[in-house]
Amino acid sequence: MEVNLKQKLNDELRQSMRERNELKTSTIRLLLSEIRYAELRKQEAEYTELAIKAGLDPKKDDFYAKLNLGDRKPVEFSDKEIQDVIAKEIKKRQDSIEAFKKGGRQDLVDKESKELAILKGYGPQMMSRDQIVAEVKQTISEVGASGPADKSKVMPKLMGKLKGKADGREINEVVTDLLSKM
C-alpha cells in the first residue's frame, strides 16, 4: 500500500521529534499547518458555494446550521494539492532568503536555507535548465514567436505547461534569453 504525502510528512515529523531535530520538526509542523489551512480555505469555499446555491447570504446567514452539513467529511488534499502547498512554501523561503541577503541578515539566510533544503525534499521534482530550454524552444516554435515582442504569447502557454515543474523566474530568464537571440 502506497503512503500518501500527508502521512509521510506526519511520519517524518514523529521521526524528527524522536531525533530531537528542532529545525526539521518546526519546518514540518509549519508545512502541515499550511496544508491544513489550505484545506480549510477550500472547505470554506465549498460551503460558501453551497450557501449561495441554497439562496443564503454567506456573510449574514448562519448557513452552516441551515445547510445541514453534519454528514460532510472534511476536505483532504490529494498529493498533487499538497505538492502545490509545498511549492508555495519553497517560493516563500526563496523570497525570504533574497530579502534577508539584501538586509545583511546572514543568520536568517542560513536558517531559511536549511528550511528550504528540508522542504525541497518533499516538493515536486523540478525540471533542469536544459529541460526548460527544450520546452521553451518547442513552445516558441508552436506559437511562431519571432522576437522579444512575442514574449506575451509564449509565457502564458509555458506557465500553464510547466506550473509546479519549474521556477517561473527561471522560465522567464530562458524565454527572454532565447527570444532576444532571434
Q: Which residues of 48-77 are buried (b: 16+ CB within 10 A; e: fewer)?
A: eebbeeeebeeeeeebeeebeeeeeeebeb
The pLDDT confidence band at residue 118, using thresholds 50, 70 and 90, is: very high
Average of per-residue pLDDT across 160-165: 79
The pLDDT confidence band at residue 51, using thresholds 50, 70 and 90, is: confident
**What's residue 114's pLDDT?**
94
> How far is the C-alpha of 24 from the C-alpha of 91, rounded, in Å?
18
Quick one: cell of 175? Answer: 524565454
**What's residue 10's pLDDT?**
93
Average of per-residue pLDDT across 40-65: 75
Average of per-residue pLDDT across 33-39: 93
* Residue 19, pLDDT above cutoff 70: yes
Greater confidence (70 vs 18) lies with 18
Q: Identify which of 47, 28, 17 has the alpha carbon closest to the alpha carbon of residue 123.
A: 28
Interaxial angle between packed helices 5-18 and 79-102, expressed in degrees from 0 to 180 and rounded to the nearest 10: 50
Report all structural domains of the chain as residue ranges with CATH numbers, in order of start.
5-91 (no CATH), 129-180 (1.10.10.410)
* Residue 16, pLDDT above cutoff 80: yes
**What's residue 1's pLDDT?**
41
Give yes or no for a contact between 48 and 41, defined as CB atoms under 8 angstroms apart: no
* Residue 142, pLDDT above cutoff 90: no
Three-state SS across the chain?
CCCCHHHHHHHHHHHHHHCCCHHHHHHHHHHHHHHHHHHHHHHHHHHHHHHHHCCCCCCCCCHHHHHCCCCCCCCCCCHHHHHHHHHHHHHHHHHHHHHHHHCCCHHHHHHHHHHHHHHHCCCCCCCCHHHHHHHHHHHHHHHCCCCHHHHHHHHHHHHHHHCCCCCHHHHHHHHHHHHHCC
**What's residue 135's pLDDT?**
86
The pLDDT confidence band at residue 3, using thresholds 50, 70 and 90, is: low
Range in 25-39, 49-63, 153-167, 168-182 the model is least confident about: 49-63
